Structure 1
């Protein structure tokens, strides 16, 4: 059981990411825009992270240099704000199932961005994963054009969420060379909250937050699929191989699809299922063996912001 526990924790953390639609759609029904939902998520996540930091990570609360804020502008604004906005918008434009699958185009974007900016090579395995991802997206979007559940905005924002997700891995890799994962996560959410709260004027919704359901959804969004998911996933990641963890984490879209079908009555056609399987297979391919040395850190940086 001890050997299985890390794998179960990774799967549990990924499953928590998979139920995020419950909170997003719930707040959307109360009139929250996609950007306001993102602001709510990062605000409550930052609040919980500060509390955890004071209790367990006091030595990781400070930055070594003010100039390092640039790392977290990248992870917090260029990645997490953009990624979440696109992801939450996609959820309201297309089915939850398709939105989460398009999010998983991130590894393909990471491969290309790593080649361009980190000078990492592209081997046959990576090239096959990128090709599989592109073909999967084509099946979901191109051949489903007549499906009323598929919109151009939904597809573009879904792909945007994958791109934003990938950006976190790139910026996160640089930040993790200098800082503990908790520090990276904390300042990512702090910078995102500091940017979004004034932009969305979230305080104007103070009365809405007095609604018990809205408050519970907001707290839940900041804690369950964010802070709790991160800690559970990281605990498992520290005790197992990073590439295995990344593959186990593909349980997230499976959970999201089941949620979409059972709770929101979504239907996936044969073409969409084929596209989804291609994308998820590509994720598995790109994460199986290779770079074992850095696998744990890369998997960590690729999941911290989710």
Structure 2
């Protein structure tokens, strides 16, 4: 801003030196904007990849250890929430104190933790367990249809043509995943399909409910405290300290990756990307999440996907591009 003021106050001369100086300042501003764009792109891309990889880590734990889904969700939330809290206390303590002393915002945070964080993470892990990380992650992308409907109702408008096309693609993709193209069969277990759709509802709530909180407190505080509140509240019922799974070194390593990479870093990097490049670009780049989950599941777990699965994935990812 200071450089822009310098241009206005001093550099509207007509001599060659003034023009050269203005050109140099513009070039520096453009270079800074380009660096921010590249940084935001890379952060968002990494966040989406890490999100997808978290599903693969969960699949590995479910397949190789006696891990309760609720235990994994609660401890994941407590650990990642604690990491966020350490980061917040070091960088943004004042706004955290403001949130904790504002009853109305605390009430909204509790709603977000229950209907967004808990609903999404618990049912996503259940969907991973019932199906696989790739399919669960792609079904979760259907959240954008819910967000689109909400946006239309709030704006009191009908869906645009591209949004309707996105709905058709989403339904076609879900149909292929569920039936493999044969309407007389159901490839995905009915409970798995229902669980995946509930996870999508939770993901939509995570985007819709905290809008005002994000504007006032920032993504790290809202996401981190939402995870911590959900984890603490769930611990009262689930009591995770009574059912710690018998992990070996590989099990604890996979769990650590799930917490640090798939939760803390994924959210932190993605939200940094939203800040740098905007929500629309970030949403588009975030479609790497189901691709990451599918590829890592195939590479590390040997998950086999049929051609109809790949076609269903492609249709749902195309829906994302039409609806954001």
TM-score bracket, shorter-length normalisation: 0.7 to 0.9
Matches within 5 A, 1:170-181: 170-181=208-219
Map of 1:298 onto structure 2: none
Map of 2:75 onto structure 1: 40
Normalized against structure 2, the TM-score is what?
A: 0.80
CA distance in 1 between partners of 2:278 and 2:216 (Å): 22
Q: Secondary structure at the match of 1:263?
A: helix
In the alignment, structure 1 residue 50 sits paired with structure 2 residue 88: no
Provide the alpha-carbon RMSD of the alignment: 2.3
CA distance in 2 between partners of 1:101 and 1:270 (Å): 15
Alpha-carbon offset, residue 273 of structure 1: 1.7
Mark the runs of 5 or more structure 1 residues left unpaired by the alignment: 288-306
Q: How many residues align?
A: 285
Structure 1 or 2: more helix by fraction: 2
Q: Which structure has the larger Rg? A: 2
Contact 1:27-1:37 at 8 Å conserved across structures = no
Map of 2:59 onto structure 1: 25
Map of 2:3 onto structure 1: none
Matches within 5 A, 1:75-114: 75-114=112-151
In the alignment, structure 1 residue 195 sits paired with structure 2 residue 233: yes
Alpha-carbon offset, residue 69 of structure 1: 2.1
Deviations 1:86-140 (A, max 9, x none): 1111111112221111011110111123334x34533222222122212211121
Contact 2:56-2:297 at 8 Å conserved across structures = no
Map of 1:265 onto structure 2: 302
Deviations 1:164-212 (A, max 9, x none): 1001111022322433222211221121012111121111135x47855
CA distance in 1 between partners of 2:298 and 2:194 (Å): 22
In the alignment, structure 1 residue 165 sits paired with structure 2 residue 203: yes
Alpha-carbon offset, residue 249 of structure 1: 1.0
- Select between 251-260 and 23-32 the one with higher mean Cα deviation: 23-32
Mark the runs of 5 or more structure 2 residues left unpaired by the alignment: 1-33
Contact 1:140-1:272 at 8 Å conserved across structures = yes
Contact 1:103-1:165 at 8 Å conserved across structures = yes
Map of 2:10 onto structure 1: none
In the alignment, structure 1 residue 126 sits paired with structure 2 residue 159: no
Change (3 A) 1:126 1:190: same
CA distance in 1 between partners of 2:279 and 2:92 (Å): 23
Contact 2:55-2:137 at 8 Å conserved across structures = no
CA distance in 1 between partners of 2:253 and 2:202 (Å): 27
Alpha-carbon offset, residue 25 of structure 1: 2.6
Deviations 1:12-54 (A, max 9, x none): 1111111112431343333222111110110001110111111
Map of 1:60 onto structure 2: 95
